[in-house]
């Protein structure tokens, strides 16, 4: 079974047009509840990339052939990721309890979180509004949640 990569482009005004609110600060900066969604906003061109968080880790990278891609894969080829030294399997994001963790997959060009290079294969807690650098591309991390409609009792 083949799956499509998660590269649906979002426009820069995506957040303004939706009934979406930024994470309430009571949740702390690293809390990622089940109704939250993760977005990366490229600082180079403003493109917004949705990162689907599921039970298994989500890999970020470029140019993975369709047959070799894992089920949860975000392909950054559309924003010229390979020209910015992003590798096929550059890093992964995984949920543990109500938090997200970022792991560099032993890349030469590195994965940086708020300007600090991550040690390979060592998970780091991901915070809302942090700066993520893959190769030479910088992203702003956004945790967003949608208000759930109240269910009539």
Mean pLDDT of the region 98-125: 94
For β-strands 91-96 and 99-104, DSSP reports them as: antiparallel
> Would the CA dihedral through 23, 24, 28, 29 be positive or negative?
positive
Q: How far apart are CA 33 and CA 27, in angstroms?
A: 8
- Which segments of 19-129 does DSSP mark as H helices, in order? none
- Cβ 100 vs Cβ 29: under 8 Å: no
Pull the structure tokens for residue 23. Answer: 């994470």
What are the sequence ranges of the domains in the chain?
A: 11-146
Q: How far apart are CA 93 and CA 57, in angstroms?
A: 6
pTM comes to: 0.74
For β-strands 58-61 and 73-75, DSSP reports them as: parallel
Mean pLDDT of the region 29-37: 84
Asked if pLDDT for residue 19 goes beyond 60, the answer is no
> Considering only CA atoms, which of 137, 152, 151 is closest in space to residue 74?
137
Which CATH fold would you assign to the domain 11-146?
Tumour Suppressor Smad4 (2.60.200)
What pLDDT, on a 0 to 100 scale, did the predictor assign at position 88?
A: 84
Pull the structure tokens for residue 16. Answer: 């303004």
Instruction: Read off the pLDDT band of 100 (50, 70, 90).
Output: very high
Q: Quote the mean pLDDT of the chain.
A: 79
């Amino acid at each position: 079974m083949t799956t499509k990569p998660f590269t649906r482009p979002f426009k820069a005004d995506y957040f303004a047009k939706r009934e979406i609110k930024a994470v309430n600060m009571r949740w702390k900066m690293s809390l990622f509840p089940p109704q939250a969604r993760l977005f990366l906003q490229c600082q180079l061109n403003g493109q917004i990339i949705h990162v689907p968080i599921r039970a298994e880790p989500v890999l970020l990278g470029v140019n993975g052939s369709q047959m070799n891609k894992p089920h949860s894969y975000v392909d950054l080829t559309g924003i010229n990721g390979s020209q910015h030294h992003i590798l096929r399997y550059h890093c992964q994001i995984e949920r543990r309890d109500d938090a997200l963790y970022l792991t560099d997959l032993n890349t030469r060009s590195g994965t940086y979180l708020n300007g600090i290079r991550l040690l390979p294969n060592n998970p780091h807690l991901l915070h809302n509004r942090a700066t993520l650098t893959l190769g030479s591309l910088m992203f702003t991390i956004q945790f967003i949640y949608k208000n759930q409609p109240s269910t009539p009792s």
